[in-house]
Structure 1
Amino acid sequence: MTSCGNSQATNEKKGDSAGTVVSNSPASASNPGSNATPFSSMTPIDTAAYDRILHELANGDSSGKWPVKAPYPTPGAILPYHRIVAFYGNLYSKRMGALGEYPKDEMIAKLKGEVKNWQAADTSLPVIPALHYVAVTAQGAPGKDGKFRARMPYHQIDTIINWANEINGLAFVDIQVGLSTLPAEVPLFEKYLSMPNVHLGVDPEFAMLGKGGRKPGSVIGTYNADDINYVIDYLAGIVKKNNIPPKILVVHRFTNPMIRDYQRIKRVPQVQIVMDMDGWGDKILKKSSYLLYEKRDPVQFTGFKIFYKNDIRSGADQLYSPQEVLSFQPKPIYIQYQ
């Protein structure tokens, strides 16, 4: 479905597309233990509540695919005990999403408003705000090393984490690899991912290896299960090493081929996987995509992205409301606004 993609593939950035992180000493990440947050709690898992919430999220699904069978998470798990509502974007671009489009105070107020709306729509789950920051962005130009991606400076990640802490929220670092690889990019953020309130997103749309050297945005990219399993193993290692709660991994998906062999994706206690339907379009297109690529191909949890501008391009439809999204089977537990 070509009309339901992320149209922000090649935004101009001031990061270092030559493959060197602008700053190699992330200040706020130097001592992960110094940022004590409610998300560092190692509360034992209430398995009865876990099972009950998963059943409620399945929302009457009769296919037998939901809830997904997976091991119980390690202590301190955020999901499924909370719903997450996130703003997505990059501080260098007003076109990539709400996170960079609005001044800080306006953006935070708008995010809090969305959190309030979702909390009112479903009082059974506490709603956590989140800032989902694209730290490695796909580019239309190859850069000095020919990788078609730019790494953002660490001080921006410090800023996002500080903002998230101010609102008692989560931070996500998102990666668009271009012609680079996940093993080359993910470890650059280990100090951040060692913090209890920092999680990870990966975007196969802009993964161009195996696409004949084409630049991001010219075709839809692909990860396979081995790519995702590498990230899962890496995050699980961080959780074990630092004795912290499970990490959340958001994987963007709006077509089936974006994630090949999804059945082989691992489910481990240290990582909670959200498959995020992040395509844009009218309501019928978006719901159809959700049913085809999230409900039909289960991994663990589901997410749903709402585009403030792209979803209403035709002018014939309004944005999905929380109440409407909560009628889906299964109910998304991660909501992202761009």
Structure 2
Amino acid sequence: MITRRIALLGLAATAVAAASGCSGSPSDGSGSSSSGGTQGPSAEASPSTIGHRVAVNTGLASGVLPSDDEGALAVSRLVLAEATAVVVVQPAPPTPSAPASPSAGASPSNSASPSAATSPTPAAGGDVAAASATAAALGLPLLIAGPELAAELNRLQTRTVIAYPAAGLDLGDREVVDGPADPAELQVEGLPAETAPATAAALRPRGESVSAATAAILAAAGIALTEVPFTDPRATAESVALVKGATGAVLGVGAFGDSARFAARVEAARTLPELPGGGVAPFPGRMMVALYGHPSGGTLGVLGEQGPEQSVARVKEFAAQYQAFSDVPVIGAFEIITTVASASAGPDGDYSYETPAEQLLPYIEAAEAAGIYCVLDLQPGHTDFLTQAKRYEELLKRPTVGLAIDPEWRLKPGQRHMTIIGQVEVDEVNATGAWLADLVAANNLPPKVVILHQFQQRMIVGRERLDTTRDELQYLVHADGHGNPPLKQATWRNLKEGLPANVWLGWKNFIDEDSPTMTPQETMEDVEPRPNFVSYQ
């Protein structure tokens, strides 16, 4: 058995997460058993009895798996179709509570000592590290002993169990081998197990602890478990590449949320175009730094102070300054005022000037060529946001064009700009978002940024009812207050109160109105949480 021992020594050094290549040749049939274990099959046994295999469920679908010990059997049920040999570890017994102190009137000598019959000593928990090493070396799943173990072994058609420890386990007529501390000492016919090549992949979010059993089950199935920085598989170029590299299911282990939503995000990562900076979803895998304004000139913001190509160069300089303080890619953005609040009613009487799309295109096309995101800002006056958004449907069909809703400039009948701060009902925001989400879905576009400009809570009435359930959109509340840093921070804190779930945050630096304008370092280090979007006006 020298050849087998050398092979096992090499395999034992392999980490559980790297066990996807653990197929091996059938046993040479020498058939000795480990000390303390059940005698293995004889050399005359047929290969179909001796050979062990692990098979993955053919119907395995993308979804979320639990990461803790309690969920390990569920992982086995979802992932494995068969495992004729497994490693089983017995959990550590619960820590016994301290015995009650004898009362003052009782003599210790009169207290009966507990007998072995009345207080059995539970078996010590198994050596998880040794069990994991054995599972990795032999290409086997690791299961945790419990009430449902026998049923799972029946489903898996398990014939051989390597147990840590074997004492106290009643597993019927199966071969039960006492697991050694060193897997190289183990001699069981038909191992390492044969495993078909894997087509699936598994992701775990950074910082998520994954139980040894779950890791071993995935490794035995040939499914590599890879760490990703976020719980959204669409978020980064790396996670999208992992998803695209798997021809089968993609499994999220741990805090990835709902299985159906995770599976839909996997499909999006596979099929949708990536955004500048990598990944399909705008956030959290990138930060955006934007120039705000209108193509007509510098009166309405810094974007119009120069032409499209010069704006590209300028915003890239800003983005580079922020990149020094960011752990995600920082890309440039243009926030283009698309409909402009007007002092006159105009031909349609809505007190809003709708910029022709052809005037916006030079900036949008320059941005697309340079890997810069665009956001169309709406200031609708007496009309509504949905009506104005539909005017720019063709522009919004572009993958890197999002939308901004600016309630300051949404007027009620009889109101005029600059005499009152406007506001919008959240139902109007939700209706606009639903239309845009449908447009994204119908045209196979990556999720769009939808900015909600605010500097007062009252500007969005009923904001707590904002519908953030559509994965086609990523809402971002943008704090627009200007002044000195303490005043801006007070506005920021106010807008964070009652923020709906799944909403990102943006910050605006005013070049002229702020006193002083915060530096990129101050913006990144003093604003909590760090904004996902920073614009300059």
TM-score, length of structure 2 as denominator length? 0.48
Write the mapping of 1:185-204 to structure 2, written as runs, cut at 5 A.
185-204=388-407
Separation of aligned partners in 2, 1:92 and 1:206: 19
Separation of aligned partners in 2, 1:297 and 1:213: 31
Separation of aligned partners in 1, 2:388 and 2:396: 13
Match for residue 436 of structure 2 among 222, 229, 235: 235
Q: Is the 8 A contact 1:129 1:167 kept in 2?
A: no
| Correspondence for 1:83 | 287
SS of the aligned residue for 1:159 comes to helix
Separation of aligned partners in 1, 2:297 and 2:407: 20
| Matched AA of 1:98 | V
Distance change (3 Å), C-alpha of 1:328 and 1:46:
farther
Separation of aligned partners in 1, 2:352 and 2:306: 24
* 1:209-256 deviation digits (Å, cap 9, x = unpaired): 2xx511112111001210110121011101110111111101100001
Deviation at 1:105, TM superposition (A): 4.5
| Correspondence for 1:276 | 478
Separation of aligned partners in 2, 1:240 and 1:307: 35
RMSD between aligned residues: 2.3
Pair 1:111 & 2:308 matched:
no
Write the mapping of 1:204-243 to structure 2, written as runs, cut at 5 A.
204-209=407-412, 212-243=413-444
Deviation at 1:182, TM superposition (A): 1.5
Deviation at 1:52, TM superposition (A): 9.3
| Matched AA of 2:521 | Q
SS of the aligned residue for 1:173 comes to strand
Pair 1:151 & 2:341 matched:
no
Q: Which runs of 5+ in 1 are unaligned?
A: 1-43, 54-68, 313-317
| Correspondence for 1:321 | 519
Pair 1:330 & 2:521 matched:
no
Match for residue 250 of structure 1 among 451, 459, 463: 451
Separation of aligned partners in 1, 2:348 and 2:411: 15
| Correspondence for 1:14 | none
Deviation at 1:305, TM superposition (A): 0.6
SS of the aligned residue for 2:388 comes to helix
Matched length: 271
| Matched AA of 1:230 | A
- Structure with more relative contact order (C-alpha pairs < 8 Å, separation 6 or more): 1
| Matched AA of 1:290 | W
Pair 1:101 & 2:302 matched:
no
Deviation at 1:168, TM superposition (A): 1.1
Pair 1:50 & 2:230 matched:
yes
| Matched AA of 2:281 | A
| Correspondence for 2:345 | 142
Separation of aligned partners in 2, 1:197 and 1:108: 15
Separation of aligned partners in 1, 2:365 and 2:357: 12
| Matched AA of 2:305 | E
Distance change (3 Å), C-alpha of 1:321 and 1:159:
same
| Correspondence for 1:310 | 513
Distance change (3 Å), C-alpha of 1:304 and 1:47:
farther
Separation of aligned partners in 1, 2:439 and 2:534: 25
Question: Identity rate of aligned residues, in percent?
Answer: 27
Deviation at 1:323, TM superposition (A): 2.3
| Correspondence for 1:29 | none
| Correspondence for 1:24 | none
Deviation at 1:183, TM superposition (A): 2.5
| Matched AA of 1:147 | D
Distance change (3 Å), C-alpha of 1:175 and 1:45:
farther
| Matched AA of 1:207 | R
| Correspondence for 2:13 | none
| Correspondence for 1:57 | none
State the structure with more CA Rg.
Answer: 2
TM-score, length of structure 1 as denominator length? 0.75
| Matched AA of 1:264 | R
Separation of aligned partners in 2, 1:46 and 1:247: 24
Deviation at 1:329, TM superposition (A): 2.2
Separation of aligned partners in 1, 2:389 and 2:431: 10
Distance change (3 Å), C-alpha of 1:106 and 1:181:
same
